[in-house]
Amino acid sequence: MNDEAVTQIRGLGVSPGIAVGSILFMESAELEVPRRRVHSEAVEDEVKRFTEALTQAEAELGTHRDQALDLSEKERRIFDAQLEFYRDAVFREAIERRIRTDRVNAEAAVKDQVEHLVAALSPAGGIYAERNADIFDLGNRLQRVLLSRGQSVIEKGAGPFILYAKELLPSDTMSLERGRLLAIVTEVGGETSHMAILARAFGVPAVTGIRGLRNSVAPGATVAVDGSLGIFYPSIDLKLQKTLEQRRARFLAEREKLVKQASSVSRAEEEAGVAVLLNIENFDGLDLDLLRSTQGIGLYRTEFLFMGRSNFPSEEEQLRFYRGVLDQVGPREVTFRTIDVGGDKPLEYLNTPKETNPALGWRGIRLTFKWPDLLIPQLRALLRASVHGNLQILLPMVTHIEEWFEARTLLEQLKDDLKRDGHSFAADVPLGVMIEVPSAAIAAADLAQEADFLSIGTNDLGQYLFAVDRNNVQVADLYRPIHPVMLRVLRNILDAGQAHGKPVTVCGEMAGEPMSALALLGLGLRRFSMSPAHVPEARWIFENYSLAEARALVSPLLAVRTEAEVEESLRRAIEDRSGPSGRVCLLPTR
């Protein structure tokens, strides 16, 4: 039997790697929530029972977080988001009010409030749906404390397992026996889901969007997961099992080798001035040797400074924060993106209207122009911090050139204000535009003529260009970052930057993924900003291809019509250069 004859189920790969093992089904410990009438004289006792349960649930969650020592701060913030709910006075008071007003028991009040919050957030989709996972999870934890019930359970098994669940909540994930966990398969989830983030942190393959296995796969059956391709194998023969295990061994060996080499500057960086920069939101878990080997931070996401709190950070607090970042990076550049909230990244304390399609709505620079109390303190703090390092300011979600003019005018006004207030700042702080909207890509020449630099957010640009939600498994395959259409759009932006002598950086996932990094190198991109996790693969590309080789490879691809032709050419080039064994950690395996 050949590989193609074996049944495959394609889902969405959210954590790379390959695993073969026995499938175990997570059985939810179903909670039957009682509803009973509470007599008036017992209402305050019921409120007290709820507040005690809230305290216990918060303590349990805090313990989970504190024990997750191998997770980065970003990953632990999954639990911080839930802790904020437990500490939120509005959440607590809403449940207490239900107990007192409706005269119901604490369990029923919690259930009603959770359902109310979920119903309010569900129509928005996106990250709001992930927020619903938080709400469900904290509601379940509260109910289990109130009802003295245990956590969701996994069918018992003696050895390692591939876990299958409808949806994996954060508390479920942290309760797993990670020493036995080989891979995760779920029905529900996305690339930014908590399950995906934690699976990548644990280093286990994960695929989502796989439905109906309980009726077709027996518990304990040998199955396989390819998280790189997003494929689940509900049954495998010995030949395929051997092939997958060989791929897995090569993946692990090559990955270890690449990681060791990641802190070394590549040939293209040394010979052709290619710049490798990092996308980060903090320094937690960041290899400082890796940081020192780069040109700096190409995208610092400042919105995380505004999250997990109950109010806006002051100008002075922001100044201390930005100065601390500059001190950490030293003379290398740091590009701070102004706060990019709204749409798929809401702030709990920023009341914005519910939108039918938030991804196309009030977010990024659109929102902050309407909230000057949010934007002005940040710009003032960034200007004041500019005397302490090599600082640049990046504007997100710019739609047309009028927004650029408005931002530049505001920045100049703030410089005048700071001068009157006696504050120092660099007179020539670069102000750049993030191109992630098709209208901005089309107007790239106009924007390049005015802005000090351009940064391309390929994640959003690709989604808007192809009208695709990448986290929607039904259409995720239509998101095609190396499609000839995307390459032509990128070529147009790079030409605009070159014509006006303005640097252009790609700070989306394309910058670090091997085939797309090679394509970008061939298109003429010289500034690649990426997640630290992607540096090993990108630097392999930069070490193994000269600019001339990349240009000769990619130039003909602008004239082809299908993504398959582009992928075939890039894949063959990488496989030829990587040796006969192939590099399964560089390329998705077929």
DSSP letters for 272-323: H--EEEEEES--TT--HHHHHTSSEEEEEETHHHHSSSSSPPPHHHHHHHHH
CB 304 within 8 A of CB 73: no
For residue 494, name the pLDDT band (cuts at 50, 70, 90).
very high
Stretch 268-281: mean pLDDT, rounded? 89
State the residue for tokens 């990046």: 394
pLDDT at position 388 is 97
SS3 577: helix
- pLDDT tens per residue across span 134-175: 777 778 778 878 887 655 545 555 589 999 988 777 667 666
| CATH class of segment(s) 262-275+434-590 | alpha beta
Q: List the one residue out of 218, 220, 219, 223 whose CA is nearest residue 205.
A: 223
pLDDT at position 325 is 96
Integer-rounded Cα Rg, in Å, for the chain is 25
Stretch 4-21: mean pLDDT, rounded? 81
CA angle 192, 196, 197 (to 5 degrees): 75
For residue 132, name the pLDDT band (cuts at 50, 70, 90).
low
Beta bridge partners of 432: 394, 453
CB neighbourhood size of 374 (10 A): 18
For residue 518, name the pLDDT band (cuts at 50, 70, 90).
very high
Structure token digits, residue 20: 């073969």
- pLDDT tens per residue across span 17-48: 899 999 988 765 556 788 989 998 999 999 99
CA distance 219 to 96: 43
For residue 581, name the pLDDT band (cuts at 50, 70, 90).
very low
pLDDT at position 582 is 44
SS3 22: strand
State the residue for tokens 């986290």: 471
For residue 126, name the pLDDT band (cuts at 50, 70, 90).
very low
Q: Which range in 95-99, 119-123, 373-377 is most confidently predicted, on average pLDDT? A: 95-99
pLDDT at position 508 is 83
| CATH class of segment(s) 3-28+153-253 | alpha beta
CA distance 177 to 206: 16
CA distance 477 to 480: 7
Domain locations in the chain as residue ranges: 3-28+153-253, 40-147, 262-275+434-590, 295-429
Residue 12 pLDDT more than 80?
yes
Structure token digits, residue 128: 């709001």
For residue 299, name the pLDDT band (cuts at 50, 70, 90).
very high
Average pLDDT taken over every residue of the chain = 84
pLDDT at position 200 is 76
CA distance 454 to 501: 11
Residue of higher predicted confidence among 404 and 83: 404
Residue 129 pLDDT more than 60?
no
CA distance 530 to 506: 8
Q: Which range in 60-69, 322-331, 509-518 is most confidently predicted, on average pLDDT? A: 322-331
Residue of higher predicted confidence among 197 and 305: 305
CA distance 250 to 297: 31
Q: How many helices (H) and strands (E) does the chain have?
A: 23, 17
CA distance 522 to 551: 4
Stretch 104-117: mean pLDDT, rounded? 89
Assigned CATH topology for domain 40-147: Enzyme I; Chain A, domain 2 (1.10.274)
CA distance 452 to 504: 10
Residue of higher predicted confidence among 512 and 124: 512
Residue of higher predicted confidence among 125 and 541: 541
> What's the burial of 401, exposed, middle or buried (CB within 10 Å: 0-12/13-18/19+)?
middle
Q: Which range in 75-79, 136-140, 550-554 is most confidently predicted, on average pLDDT? A: 550-554
**In terms of DSSP H, where are the helices of 69-166?**
73-87, 89-102, 106-121, 127-147
* Among 58-67, 338-347, 362-371, the least confident range: 338-347
What pTM was computed for the model?
A: 0.69
Assigned CATH topology for domain 295-429: TIM Barrel (3.20.20)
Tell me 28's DSSP state.
P
Strand (E) or helix (H) holding 573: helix 563-578
Does this chain's domain 3-28+153-253 share its CATH topology with 262-275+434-590?
no
CB 236 within 8 A of CB 222: yes
For residue 345, name the pLDDT band (cuts at 50, 70, 90).
low
Q: List the one residue out of 267, 459, 432 whose CA is nearest residue 334.
A: 432
Residue 213 pLDDT more than 50?
yes
Enzyme catalytic residues: 194, 507
CB neighbourhood size of 76 (10 A): 16
374 vs 185, 334, 382, 421, CA distance in Å?
41, 21, 13, 20
CB neighbourhood size of 147 (10 A): 15
Residue of higher predicted confidence among 448 and 510: 448
527 vs 88, 459, 498, 551, CA distance in Å?
42, 16, 13, 15
> What's the burial of 543, exposed, middle or buried (CB within 10 Å: 0-12/13-18/19+)?
middle
